Structure 1
């Protein structure tokens, strides 16, 4: 099964972005009718998560740095720079991802995907490809296949797989491309991985109340969350400030959103904002807009008390 159609691509004469090397997920050939499933550890997600995924203010359970656009959104595409930030609390996570939400403040529904380092969930400190969604009828988010909702169609890619290679500070840079798009015929939210947009699966609209038709906001960048982040703030992105510049700070680039007509467009300067909920610990640079989409640097070392 695949989407009934794909969003119309932007006509780009040339890109001013420096293209990093694409990172990959491990693949396996599963028999017909089966999918690869990775075993997760015993992380108690019920005690770890209860958060406002997009709000602009500091939240006791997590922090973020990146950019957010507010609009009627039917999907997004972004290239995410992949690092392996150090996470000090085993129950905490550091994510670099795309996240779309809709719903009233404090009762958001959302879907997202990207690179996450989460020791207690996966049992290691590697950057792994995780997916996320939350519905307002369940007082906790879902990741990967921990609860019903996401329908995987890929027989070769395991959600939660390790992303390799990863970037090094002032060295080789690697990225993943994440595309989430709403099928105009079925209403399914499709997730695709890589520059060639391999379909991984979809979220049916029937599981949502607010996200069943569209999103009202989309965030791209880094987020830390967990029960002890305020005591041991993890690294975000590369673990270095946006001000250190390209090749040193993590980035999200080629940011595009999808409209109701299933067409890509570049987020507007009037409704897209960068920022950090904890500017003494993490920062986000200015947003650059070009023909290939928006781009910004973000990150920080964490381990601060202000």
Structure 2
């Protein structure tokens, strides 16, 4: 995914996220979220941060990054919640982040790897997620953007670059080379019949699902300016 720093204030939240989840469609009971986020309320500034969130047990436990017991850090050089000092330029140089989430076939723990070299940052123990423990796995995978406006803000924040996607991939938030695996099979791109395109408010944000492409693998583009009534 490419990294942006949309303007957020107060409790506004804007992120590009990969989500593995199990539970009712209207509210995940167990889930893992990974990507980047801008959240002054969580991080104390308006920078883009390496973002993770998990929800476990009966849905009542979990937290951001390492703010509660859960995630086990194995690489001290990778800090969940760390700042991305460089972000993408509209139409220019794109700063990117690579994420890889796998389940260890022996321990059943959920492993987070970062970068093209798949450097292992750590793992979430399988015991945190009773609905995804063992061979149950996740029932849903989601890729895209999330925004929240907060109680004190009247407008929803921008998503990604703050522009809706167009024909130039450097103009919006994108995710490329989307791959997944089931039951420890080979990684592959999704088929069209396996995907749903969900856009909550087309006035404020846009979504283009390009599917499998020659240059970028499986590609989606999303984002927008936000605003009132989003």
TM-score, length of structure 1 as denominator length: 0.69
Corresponding residue for residue 181 of structure 2: 258
Question: Which runs of structure 1 show a deviation greater than 4 angstroms over 4 or more consecutive aligned residues?
Answer: none
Are positions 1:218 and 2:141 aligned together?
yes
Are positions 1:185 and 2:106 aligned together?
yes
Q: Does the residue aligned with 1:227 lie in a helix, a strand or coil?
A: coil
Corresponding residue for residue 96 of structure 1: 16
Question: CA 1:211/1:226 → structure 2, altered by over 3 Å: closer, same or farther?
Answer: farther
Corresponding residue for residue 299 of structure 1: 223
- Structure 1: where are the runs of 5+ without partners? 1-79
Corresponding residue for residue 87 of structure 2: 166
Q: 1:153 & 1:137 partners in 2: Cα distance?
A: 26
Contact 2:29 2:58 in 1 (8 A): no
Are positions 1:197 and 2:118 aligned together?
yes
- The Cα shift of 1:206 comes to 0.9
Question: CA 1:197/1:229 → structure 2, altered by over 3 Å: closer, same or farther?
Answer: farther
Q: 2:181 & 2:152 partners in 1: Cα distance?
A: 33
**Which of 232, 235, 251 matches 2:158?**
235
- The Cα shift of 1:274 comes to 2.2
After TM superposition, the structure 1 = structure 2 runs for residues 1-306 of structure 1, keeping only pairs within 5 Å, are 80-88=1-9, 90-105=10-25, 106-139=27-60, 141-212=62-133, 213-225=136-148, 227-228=150-151, 231-243=154-166, 245-290=168-213, 293-305=217-229
Question: CA 1:87/1:131 → structure 2, altered by over 3 Å: closer, same or farther?
Answer: same
Deviations 1:2-48 (CA, angstroms, capped at 9, x unpaired) = xxxxxxxxxxxxxxxxxxxxxxxxxxxxxxxxxxxxxxxxxxxxxxx
Q: 2:152 & 2:187 partners in 1: Cα distance?
A: 36
Q: Does the residue aligned with 2:42 lie in a helix, a strand or coil?
A: helix
Q: 2:185 & 2:119 partners in 1: Cα distance?
A: 18
Question: CA 1:229/1:109 → structure 2, altered by over 3 Å: closer, same or farther?
Answer: farther
- The Cα shift of 1:221 comes to 1.1
Contact 1:267 1:293 in 2 (8 A): no
Deviations 1:202-229 (CA, angstroms, capped at 9, x unpaired) = 1111111212131111111110125338
- Structure 2: where are the runs of 5+ without partners? none
User: With CA pairs under 8 Å and 6+ residues apart, which has the higher RCO, 1 or 2?
Assistant: 1
Q: Does the residue aligned with 1:113 lie in a helix, a strand or coil?
A: strand
Q: Does the residue aligned with 2:106 lie in a helix, a strand or coil?
A: coil
Deviations 1:70-112 (CA, angstroms, capped at 9, x unpaired) = xxxxxxxxxx110001114x11210111111012333531002
Question: CA 1:138/1:226 → structure 2, altered by over 3 Å: closer, same or farther?
Answer: farther
Give the alignment's Cα RMSD to 1 decimal. Answer: 1.9
Contact 2:57 2:128 in 1 (8 A): no
